Amino acid sequence: MLALIYSDRYINRMNTDPTKKLSGKSALVTASSRGIGRAIALRLAADGARVAVNYHRDDRAAQDVVGAITAAGGQAIAVQGDVGVQADVERLFKEAVAAFGSLDILVNNAGLGAHGPIAEIDTALLDRVVDVNVKGTFYALQQAARLLNDGGRIVNISTGYTRSAFPGFGVYTATKAAVEHLGLALSKELGARRITVNSVLPGLVDTDQTAPIRDQFAAVAAMTPLGRVGEPEDIADIVAFLATDDARWVTGQRIAAAGGLA
Ligand SMILES: NC(=O)c1ccc[n+]([C@@H]2O[C@H](COP(=O)([O-])OP(=O)(O)OC[C@H]3O[C@@H](n4cnc5c(N)ncnc54)[C@H](OP(=O)(O)O)[C@@H]3O)[C@@H](O)[C@H]2O)c1
């Protein structure tokens, strides 16, 4: 509920903020019907971007995000697709380009968790997490490399776990390390076209994905210099900065967003 109230901050300024830094830009945000992706979609729209809201199964949640954006004077479409399926990712880009004419911003936000010691991880889970987190990101980066306008922006959502090694998160973190490296490699390939590619590394954020471990939030907050766990908007605000011209000289970087938690 808190996340919804926070996001209203973006809705309320959609029509009123005269300094819309993303006016005329169009964005595709994967997995943006809920959680961190939803906040990113709302924030980019608040900054003037037209946004393609990708979701997997829950059409209603995606339509809610689109409805919130359009009701506030912005432009958005919902696009269904499983990021782990190459044909779906290609269709996402096709639909976004068909709706907006071209694309300037890709946020690779879709990502599945996989919790368990390496000795016990089920290989079916391994396959699914690699499909969505690694291959899905790759498919989207490949499309973006081919289709994004010059001067475009790519932001990958990784995890703060890649800065250390947290027991039980080895598989998840390994997929995110691959995401970060794909971003770094692509930043070299696309620099000549002024396209930047960066990764944001969130710490623990209050979303549906972390709802099962809410009982651990107080302990994480106690270890965090800024004294709380993250909200989706803490991440969305950084993504929005990276999407603007203000961040034109930042590429190939990993930006931790974890309230100071190492
Ligand atoms: N939450 C955290 O503490 C945290 C910390 C670090 C990094 N991250 C990363 O941040 C990203 C977002 O996390 P979150 O916590 O916001 O996740 P979340 O709440 O689980 O995200 C839900 C969203 O993902 C969509 N989705 C799920 N599977 C999909 C697929 N195969 N293809 C396309 N969309 C799919 C859902 O669509 P439907 O509802 O339609 O299925 C929904 O829009 C992930 O990459 C995650 O690894 C999260």
Please give the distance, rounded to the nearest whole angstrom, from the Cα atom of residue 157 to the centre of ligand 1. 10
- What CA–CA distance (Å, rounded) separates 67 from 73? 10
Distance (Å, whole) CA 207 – CA 82: 20
Q: What is the pLDDT of residue 19?
A: 64
The CATH class of the 2-257 domain is: alpha beta
Nearest protein CA to atom 30 of ligand 1, as residue: 82
Residue position matching structure tokens 């919790």: 115
pLDDT at 95: 98
Share of residues in the chain with pLDDT > 70 (%)? 95
The per-residue pLDDT for range 182-224, each reduced to its tens digit, is: 999 999 999 999 999 999 999 999 999 999 999 999 999 999 9
Active site positions, annotated? 172
Rounded to whole angstroms, the Cα distance separating 192 from 196 reads 10
Residue 249 CB-density burial (10 A; 0-12 exposed, 13-18 middle, 19+ buried): exposed
Model pLDDT for residues 30-53, shown as the tens digit of each residue:
999 999 999 999 999 999 999 999
Residue 212 CB-density burial (10 A; 0-12 exposed, 13-18 middle, 19+ buried): exposed
- Residues with Cβ < 8 Å from 186, sequence gap 6 or more? 141, 145, 154, 197
Distance in angstroms (rounded) separating the CA atoms of residues 174 and 192: 29
Contact residues for 116 (Cβ-Cβ < 8 A; gap 6+): 122, 125, 168, 171
The answer to whether the beta carbons of residues 110 and 83 sit under 8 Å apart is yes
Tokens of residue 250, six digits: 């930042």
pLDDT band at 15 (very low <50, low <70, confident <90, very high): low
**pLDDT tens sequence across 63-111:** 999 999 999 999 999 999 999 999 999 999 999 999 999 999 999 999 9
Question: Does residue 153 surpass a pLDDT of 70?
Answer: yes
Which atom of ligand 1 sits closest to the CA of residue 202? Answer: 6
Mean pLDDT of the chain: 95
At 2, the pLDDT band (50, 70, 90 cuts) reads: very low
* 235 C-beta closer than 6 A to ligand 1: no
Mutate to test the pocket of ligand 1, among 176, 207, 235 (most ligand atoms within 8 A of CB): 207
Instruction: Enumerate the domain spans of the chain.
Output: 2-257
Atom of ligand 1 nearest to the CA of 59: 40
Q: Please give the model's pTM, rounded to 2 decimal places.
A: 0.95
Asked if residue 109 has its Cβ within 6 Å of ligand 1, the reply is yes
